Amino acid sequence: MHGIRAERLTKRYGATVAVDDLSFTAQPGVITGFLGPNGAGKSTTLRMLTGLTRPTSGAITIGGRRLADLDDPARTVGALLDARAVHPHRTAAQHLLAFAQAAGLDRRRVGEVLELVGLGAAGDRRAGEFSLGMQQRLGIATALLGDPGVLVLDEPLNGLDPEGIRWLRTLLRDLAREGRTILFSSHLMSEMELTAHHLVVVGRGRLIAEATLDDFVRAHTTRAVTVRAGSPDRLGGALARAGVDFAAQPDSSLLVTGADAPTVGRIAAAEGLALDELSPVRESLEDVFLRLTHEATDYEGVAA
């Protein structure tokens, strides 16, 4: 099975740099999450991967070859770039048939992939009547038509209901277990956390981090301790004297970032303070992601 490799991939639109010197890999047998805020260049990267957009410089290849140079593209790579990319008047089965024919696939594949994505009963319905979730399923069916070893999915979880999200996770895991390369993008860390093995995090077109999910968590999550005592001031004073960093929280607890829970407990005991709460907290991956991409974010919402 082929992997995906981006090497110094760059795309400029006039003065705007959509993708900036981006290098990463996605390996066979692994679900690689391609993560970044909106406007980070994820879709542009995937469009360069599928040959729709030409890189300004650098390359992104499948098993070392550009998509256009593959001997049998449809059996090598399947892509879902935009779930809404269906003609509203065409039925799901006709949509799939057109692509099955283009790839020289047996027309039985149409029924098979419809069953696989849970649209077995909806094959004769017009794609325009589909909910976004059903369109995502149709898009995934299209990507799976040629039974490809490489799957590229742009925001495949968008519009899926919780059951659909669980279904897709299971499907992706099964496909990865068969040795396929899976690269899927999302702007939501919470989705990645439960699905991806490997993370490629981008912001403003640049690589921010590339690591396994575990390494990413270890490297980037800061450990902290929430501590609460009857007298926050005395506790604060004791911590300050011990040279431990902390921040007072609105609920009169203290968030300690400079020491672990046992150390905080000992400092409090030495001061003769009874603690109401002492609990380690781990920064959520969502917070890590937001922090990491903070500088690289083009469009930031204003906190309510």
Contacts with another protein, residue ranges (CB under 8 A): 47, 50-54, 67-68, 70, 73-74, 77-79, 81-82, 84-91, 94, 97-99, 101-104, 142, 146
Task: Give the residue with the Cβ less far from another protein, 150 or 244.
Answer: 150
Which class for 295: exposed (0-12), middle (13-18), buried (19 or more C-beta within 10 A)?
exposed
Task: Give the residue with the Cβ less far from another protein, 89 or 282.
Answer: 89
As measured in angstroms, the least distance from the Cβ of 262 to another protein is 55
As measured in angstroms, the least distance from the Cβ of 39 to another protein is 18
Residue with token string 């040279």: 243
Radius of gyration of the chain (CA): 24
As measured in angstroms, the least distance from the Cβ of 69 to another protein is 8
Task: Give the residue with the Cβ less far from another protein, 98 or 194.
Answer: 98
As measured in angstroms, the least distance from the Cβ of 13 to another protein is 9
As measured in angstroms, the least distance from the Cβ of 41 to another protein is 14
**Degrees, nearest 5: CA angle 34-40-45:** 60
Task: Give the residue with the Cβ less far from another protein, 63 or 232.
Answer: 63
Dihedral-angle region of residue 155 (phi above 0 means left; psi in -120 to 50 means alpha; beta otherwise): left
Task: Give the residue with the Cβ less far from another protein, 64 or 104.
Answer: 104
Non-local (6+) Cβ contacts of 158 within 8 A are 83, 132, 136
Long-range Cβ contacts of 270-276 (<8 Å, 24+ apart) = 270/238, 271/234, 271/235, 271/238, 273/229, 273/230, 273/231, 273/234, 273/235, 273/238, 274/229, 274/230, 275/227, 275/228, 275/229, 276/228, 276/229, 276/230
Contact 12, 28 (CB under 8 A): no
Task: Give the residue with the Cβ less far from another protein, 102 or 194.
Answer: 102
As measured in angstroms, the least distance from the Cβ of 47 to another protein is 7
